[in-house]
Amino acid sequence: MTNNYFPDGFLWGGATAANQIEGAYDEGGKGLSIQDVMPHGITTPPSGTPTEDNLKLHAIDFYNRYVEDIALFAEMGFTVFRFSVAWSRIFPMGNEDEPNEEGLKFYDRVLDELDKHGIEPMITISHYETPLHLARRYDGWSNRKMIGFYENYCRVLFDRFGSRVKYWLTFNEINSVLHEPFLSGGIATPKAELTQQNLYQAVHHELVASARVTRLAREIMPNARIGCMILALPIYPLTPNPDDVVATMKAQHRSYAFGDIHCRGEYPGYLLRYFRDNEIELDITEQDREDLKNTVDFVSFSYYMSLCETADSSRVTGAGNIFGGVTNPTLEASEWGWQIDPQGLRVVMNDYWERWQKPLFIVENGLGAKDRLVEIDGVRTVEDGYRIDYLRKHLLQVNEALADGVDVLGYTSWGCIDLVSASTAQLSKRYGFVYVDRNDDGSGSLERYRKKSFFWYRDVIRSNGAALT
């Protein structure tokens, strides 16, 4: 049996995103974000205006209940809480000159509360919630002007919160823009009309923006640590046939590129080759090349599953979330078809550490499952042994990676309190340690209840991982 390798000071906690928890979509001077017109997640095209069938409009009402929720996180012993700022709360249209003071005050209050409990905040600056105006008027990140709008937004955040927020992530799952351009990049042009050239140009704008604000952060907040955030997805060859191995390498490159540029400050050769082979010519200025040299301090990532790849198109089967891919015949899947692979987490951690030699932060991991609220000895709870099993197996693999010598700063499980799903916009796809009484039809009291996993995670944190074994 492996010993406990979690180091002292390892950060334990949970992760959320504004659009999936806050609600209050039109309160406090907030403008609309793309999420306010995505009632069904990524499964159907966005609607024109907010409609009441969109659970995100009110979500779990964290906007009004953050005091109670943060107290529950503190009760579990969280030492870090990852959340995002809703860009459209600070700049309702996205590109005003002056920020919305009421929006800033909300995050002041959240930070006060975290501070009260000694919980380190980690802020995602942009988590799938581009202001709708920027999507409609500028076609989101297709447009170079977004770099300036984003920089202004970041300057306001850094000036206001810089003295009390150390950990910042520039873009959630930046590699997903190639797959979900509206969700991830606020690109209003339908996906079917976008070429690879369009997509990579948008990616380029985001990468330059990320690097520019990394430089800005260092000027304004010398003690801050800036991370990129990647959707991690180890890909295995479906067979040992070298054709499958090469196909796997190419598929991996599509995600590695984002970490390579963030960590090395320039485009990797394999991506330049891909551009040549596909006649993609990007508008990259000399200034862009200089800006990209501002590399990140650490690499954060989400991890839910692995995939397979094959060169044989007749063997391709659907699997996975945003990325799609080939099913692994050896693995079981969640109720939503996400294949469960704890060892894949160790693989990806070793891989990233060896490749970039930057500390890692696991900022999302968890099981979306249907929960049943029951009453035991007069107390309402959820007997979610399946979630404990999933998280335990993954955390044991984090321990293995630590034993392998990987440098890891912390772990925030996804959706530490039930929230609205990004891909399907359901509340019944629950990830939390805390159950929120709200259903897919919008009914429910919004009351919070501790699940069995709540007490389990508390013990894991209390023992700094020793309770896992």
* Catalytic positions, written as ranges: 173, 364
From 363, 408, 370, select the one nearest 386 (Cα to Cα): 370
Among the listed residues 154, 422, 436, 468, the single contact to ligand BGP using CB under 6 A: 422
Buried residues in 74-108 as b, exposed as e (16+ CB within 10 A)? bebbbbbbbbbbbbbbbbbebbbeebbeebbebbe
Q: Does 84 bind ligand BGP (CB under 6 A)?
A: no
Contacts of 190 (CB under 8 A, 6+ apart): 45
Place of tokens 């991690």: 232
Which of 295, 423 has the CB closer to ligand BGP?
423
Taking the C-alpha atoms of residue 163 and residue 242, their distance in angstroms, rounded to an integer, is 52
Which of 335, 404 has the CB closer to ligand BGP?
335
Point out which span in 211-219, 259-267, 289-297, 417-425 binds ligand BGP (CB under 6 A): 417-425
Buried residues in 407-445 as b, exposed as e (16+ CB within 10 A)? ebbbbbbbbbbbbbbbbbbbbbbbbbbbbbbbebeeeee
Two structure tokens written together for 90: 């600070």
Point out which span in 25-33, 377-385, 414-422, 450-458 binds ligand BGP (CB under 6 A): 414-422
Q: Does 256 bind ligand BGP (CB under 6 A)?
A: no
Q: Does 414 bind ligand BGP (CB under 6 A)?
A: yes
Task: Please report how close the Cβ of residue 183 comes to ligand BGP at its closest, in angstroms.
Answer: 9
Which of 202, 425 has the CB closer to ligand BGP?
425
Q: Does 46 bind ligand BGP (CB under 6 A)?
A: no
Q: Does 165 bind ligand BGP (CB under 6 A)?
A: no
Task: Please report how close the Cβ of residue 302 comes to ligand BGP at its closest, in angstroms.
Answer: 5
Taking the C-alpha atoms of residue 117 and residue 400, their distance in angstroms, rounded to an integer, is 30
Strand pairing class (307-309; 225-232): unpaired
Task: Please report how close the Cβ of residue 173 comes to ligand BGP at its closest, in angstroms.
Answer: 5
Place of tokens 């509360």: 113
Q: Does 368 bind ligand BGP (CB under 6 A)?
A: yes
Site for ligand BGP in 86-105 (CB under 6 A): none
Neighbour count for residue 165 (Cβ, 10 Å):
20
Is 24 within 8 Å of 106 (Cβ atoms)?
A: no
Helices 101-116 and 62-76: crossing angle, nearest 10°?
Answer: 20
Task: Please report how close the Cβ of residue 242 comes to ligand BGP at its closest, in angstroms.
Answer: 32
Task: Please report how close the Cβ of residue 61 comes to ligand BGP at its closest, in angstroms.
Answer: 18
Site for ligand BGP in 425-464 (CB under 6 A): 429
Query: 375 by DSSP, 3-state: which?
Result: strand
Two structure tokens written together for 26: 């039109």
Two structure tokens written together for 324: 């799609």
From 25, 126, 49, select the one nearest 83 (Cα to Cα): 126
Is 298 within 8 Å of 409 (Cβ atoms)?
A: yes
Is 418 within 8 Å of 55 (Cβ atoms)?
A: no
Give 165-193 as a 3 state SS string: CCEEECCCCHHHHHCCHHHHHCCCCCHHH
Point out which span in 46-54, 396-404, 420-428, 436-444 binds ligand BGP (CB under 6 A): 420-428
Q: Does 423 bind ligand BGP (CB under 6 A)?
A: yes
What CA dihedral angle connects 245, 250, 251 and 254, to 10 degrees? Answer: 160
Which of 61, 75 has the CB closer to ligand BGP?
61
Which of 20, 95 has the CB closer to ligand BGP?
20
Which of 181, 237 has the CB closer to ligand BGP?
181
Q: Does 129 bind ligand BGP (CB under 6 A)?
A: no
Site for ligand BGP in 318-347 (CB under 6 A): 322
Among the listed residues 172, 210, 214, 413, the single contact to ligand BGP using CB under 6 A: 172
Taking the C-alpha atoms of residue 129 and residue 302, their distance in angstroms, rounded to an integer, is 17
Point out which span in 89-97, 341-349, 416-424, 436-444 binds ligand BGP (CB under 6 A): 416-424
Site for ligand BGP in 289-318 (CB under 6 A): 302
Task: Please report how close the Cβ of residue 37 comes to ligand BGP at its closest, in angstroms.
Answer: 17
Task: Please report how close the Cβ of residue 84 comes to ligand BGP at its closest, in angstroms.
Answer: 9
Task: Please report how close the Cβ of residue 182 comes to ligand BGP at its closest, in angstroms.
Answer: 14
From 27, 164, 23, 305, select the one nearest 35 (Cα to Cα): 23
Point out which span in 4-12, 69-77, 143-151, 421-429 binds ligand BGP (CB under 6 A): 421-429
Among the listed residues 173, 260, 309, 384, the single contact to ligand BGP using CB under 6 A: 173
Task: Please report how close the Cβ of residue 128 comes to ligand BGP at its closest, in angstroms.
Answer: 6
Is 230 within 8 Å of 364 (Cβ atoms)?
A: no
Where does this chain bind ligand BGP (CB under 6 A)? 17, 128, 172-173, 302, 322, 364, 368, 414, 421-424, 429
